A and B are shown apart, each in its own frame.
Chain A
Amino acid sequence: MSDTNFVRTEMLPPVAPPVSQRGVVRWLRENLFSGPLNTILSLLAVAALYYLIKASLPWWLNGVWNATSLRECRDIVAASAGPDATGACWAVIRERWHQFLFGFYLPELWWRPMLCFALLFVALAPVLYSDSRRNIALLIGAVTALLALCLLLLDTVVLHLVVSVGVMLALLVVAWTAPRKLLWVTLLYPFFAVWLLWGGSVWGPITTLLGVGVMAIAYRLVAPSLGVVMGSSIGFVAACLWWLFAQGPLLAAVAPALPFDLQPVTSDKFGGFLLAFVIGVSSISISLPLGILLALGRRSDMLLIKTLSVGFIEFVRGVPLITMLFTASLLLQYFLPPRTNFDLILRVVILVTLFSAAYNAEVVRGGLAALPRGQYEAADALGLDYWQAQRLIIMPQALKISIPGIVSTFIGLFKDTTLVSFVGLNDPLKGITQIVRADINWKGIYWEPYIFVGAIFFLACFGMSRYSMYLEQKLKTDHR
């Protein structure tokens, strides 16, 4: 029999790897001490960490929470830790935290932005966790508990406390019994939020909402015969006509007859994170759909739509955000009909939205370009029309690919809301901090307010980033 003739008689079972290839030792060896260079770098990193902590730890440990001025803080630190010791003066946050959060919103009205913030999570829940009733209920439950706790700590009037918590609990019940109904909360939230934050007659947002109804009716009438694009355009025009000509008289007639008002708050009272969230959340939620439309427009075969989309995207991306903000605060008035008085925050929201829509459009276009042609062809071959194919086949995949880019744009936008300080709004980073530091008691304080504001920004942005990673995992169906 020759040596090359071999027949296996039994198949070998798999065996676990040797001990030296498992466990902590292997991890350390592989990741920190795999070679001379890596060993030196690891030791240097440990040393750097050591000195950093050694230098800053006393500052953190000697932190003072109870004081009325920076001088008092320093005296307390000197008395307790010796004359040369350093220590943080968190007392400034303790005294001024409300300005960082609410700006100059009246203290007795704080429950309104807080309820509004809590409702934001209710509105987001069905979008964020589309398929898990348990997650939605957990989120809403936790937010309700937190809201109740905060309102109690702030000595809110009982009526407001009961109303706020009651609304949240009712929604919690809805979330548990009929989670799909929560999408109505999502749709109505913007109108309710505007009313809660700015106050005034409840008929303002309701008549505005009726304009959306007019749009929907016009679309229903026109779209079947003239197509989606014409339907949406005519619907939009009809809604604009409603808002311009019908809403005012209707409001004037109804509002005095059925008064149901909240105390009005003007935009100059807004500040701090309240302002950052108002601008950030509204711009984020409008700029994504707008960006998708622009991306589709840019890839359209129709020359006019394509040219307009490209022109808009390239123009907006070519102009710094600050220019757009100055446009919002100074120039926009010139282009509007005389005597229209647009709120400054609204103007800023519009321009920040347009700005980030242009960036989103390019991110989404990247996702669209990454899809193989075969997906479009398969959708076409099955007889799906353009909008069905986009909604059911193309967008779910393109958006999934674009998640990291879209979330980057969102995070960027949220941090860019601090730029509104240039048009005289009190953003948390520059506006409010400057106001606090202008106080004679806190003159000379640097680190503490910035660390506080930075930490909140970090929490919000890190939250968005983690959520996007969760979403990517959840949507991963390619199993490659």
Chain B
Amino acid sequence: MAKTAIDRSKMQVSDEIAIQITGMNKWYGSFHVLRDINMTVNKGERIVICGPSGSGKSTLIRCINRLEEHQQGQIIVDGTELTSDLKNIDKVRSEVGMVFQHFNLFPHLTILENCTLAPIWVRKTPKAEAEETAMHFLRKVKIPEQAHKYPGQLSGGQQQRVAIARSLCMKPRIMLFDEPTSALDPEMIKEVLDTMISLAEEGMTMLCVTHEMGFAQAVANRVIFMDQGQIVEQNEPREFFNNPQSDRTKLFLSQILGH
């Protein structure tokens, strides 16, 4: 699935901590979705989170930019603790990029406007500079020629690459991917994964909820397996796939890799 030759020269994990989650719990009403999550992500790490549906993996990464509120414990992103303080939340959000399963591009704006909106209004970047940056990232995801079209005119894979470019325009330090390829046709998955791989090659800190195990094996330096709202197992990819420890992980891997 993934590109064969991956340039690992810049893919170094530093000692600096990017995200620290300690004793985090979350409930939807009385349903306990996330149970005692403890996890540290260092700068430059590429983490793949997998698990059966309903295991809380999406909820976990949505807590990291406060799209979901946690009720207990502590989340510190890039030195800022997430509390109900709106200033902190906006600060974290402008440093953390997010890519959604359904792209969530703004359909009333052109591709270029989608990419320049947040830099102009949140970062107060001058329009010309924001457009230059946007074109740079659109070239990087290989669709500069679509800049003046509307999202509705693009294919799913193209839209998702625009969504990645839109996040990158904010020059984020951390990127969150919430099942970025789950809504795509098989033919388009590769183009999105290639974009994500080239991002990893540049040393971006990435947290990725995905079922693309090929991507996990090729790029991730850690795989986290979740079930019933808790982290069941985490390991470096080779160990994780070849030598899973818990029975739940074994069952999951046999189902996902079995065909």
Interface residues of A (CB under 8 A from B): 372, 374-375, 377-378, 380-385, 388, 392-393, 396-397, 400, 475, 477-480
Within 8 A of A (CB), among B139-173: 150, 152-153, 166-167, 170
Roughly how many angstroms separate A400 CA and B106 CA in the complex, as a whole number?
A: 13
Asked if A378 and B100 sit within 8 Å, CB to CB, the answer is yes
Distance in Å from the Cβ of A4 to the closest Cβ of chain B?
27
Roughly how many angstroms separate A124 CA and B108 CA in the complex, as a whole number?
A: 23
Residues on A with beta carbons closer than 8 Å to the beta carbon of B170: 382-383
Roughly how many angstroms separate A378 CA and B97 CA in the complex, as a whole number?
A: 10
Residues on B with beta carbons closer than 8 Å to the beta carbon of A388: 121-122
Asked if B150 and A392 sit within 8 Å, CB to CB, the answer is no
Interface centre among B100, B104, B170 (most CB of A within 10 A): B104
Roughly how many angstroms separate A410 CA and B9 CA in the complex, as a whole number?
A: 64
Within 8 A of A (CB), among B92-143: 93-94, 96-98, 100, 102-108, 117-118, 121-122
Say if the beta carbon of B67 comes within 8 Å of chain A. yes
The residue in chain B whose Cβ has the minimal distance to the Cβ of A396 is B108
Interface residues of B (CB under 8 A from A): 65, 67, 86, 90-91, 93-94, 96-98, 100, 102-108, 117-118, 121-122, 150, 152-153, 166-167, 170
Residues on B with beta carbons closer than 8 Å to the beta carbon of A375: 104, 106
Asked if B108 and A477 sit within 8 Å, CB to CB, the answer is yes
Asked if A382 and B118 sit within 8 Å, CB to CB, the answer is yes
Asked if B107 and A382 sit within 8 Å, CB to CB, the answer is no
Asked if A382 and B152 sit within 8 Å, CB to CB, the answer is no
Asked if A477 and B104 sit within 8 Å, CB to CB, the answer is no
Asked if A475 and B153 sit within 8 Å, CB to CB, the answer is no
Asked if B108 and A382 sit within 8 Å, CB to CB, the answer is no
Asked if A382 and B117 sit within 8 Å, CB to CB, the answer is yes
Asked if A374 and B104 sit within 8 Å, CB to CB, the answer is yes
Roughly how many angstroms separate A392 CA and B122 CA in the complex, as a whole number?
A: 12
Interface centre among A380, A475, A480 (most CB of B within 10 A): A380
Distance in Å from the Cβ of A378 to the closest Cβ of chain B?
4
Asked if A382 and B67 sit within 8 Å, CB to CB, the answer is no
The residue in chain B whose Cβ has the minimal distance to the Cβ of A385 is B90
* Known contacts A382-B93, A382-B118, then 20 further A-B pairs from the complex at CB < 8 Å, ordered by chain A residue: A374-B104, A375-B106, A377-B104, A380-B67, A381-B65, A381-B100, A382-B94, A382-B166, A383-B90, A383-B94, A383-B170, A384-B118, A388-B122, A393-B106, A400-B108, A477-B107, A478-B107, A478-B150, A479-B152, A480-B152
Roughly how many angstroms separate A220 CA and B182 CA in the complex, as a whole number?
A: 46
Q: Can you spell out 9 A-B residue pairs with CB atoms less than 8 angstroms apart?
A: A374-B103, A377-B100, A378-B104, A381-B65, A381-B96, A383-B170, A388-B122, A397-B108, A479-B153
Distance in Å from the Cβ of A160 to the closest Cβ of chain B?
45
Distance in Å from the Cβ of A477 to the closest Cβ of chain B?
4
Roughly how many angstroms separate A388 CA and B124 CA in the complex, as a whole number?
A: 13
Indicate which residue in A372, A385, A478 contacts B152 across the interface (CB closer than 8 Å).
A478
Distance in Å from the Cβ of B259 to the closest Cβ of chain A?
28
Distance in Å from the Cβ of B147 to the closest Cβ of chain A?
15
Roughly how many angstroms separate A107 CA and B76 CA in the complex, as a whole number?
A: 74
Indicate which residue in B65, B67, B90, B152 contacts A477 across the interface (CB closer than 8 Å).
B152
Roughly how many angstroms separate A113 CA and B152 CA in the complex, as a whole number?
A: 46
Distance in Å from the Cβ of A92 to the closest Cβ of chain B?
50
Residues on A with beta carbons closer than 8 Å to the beta carbon of B100: 374, 377-378, 381
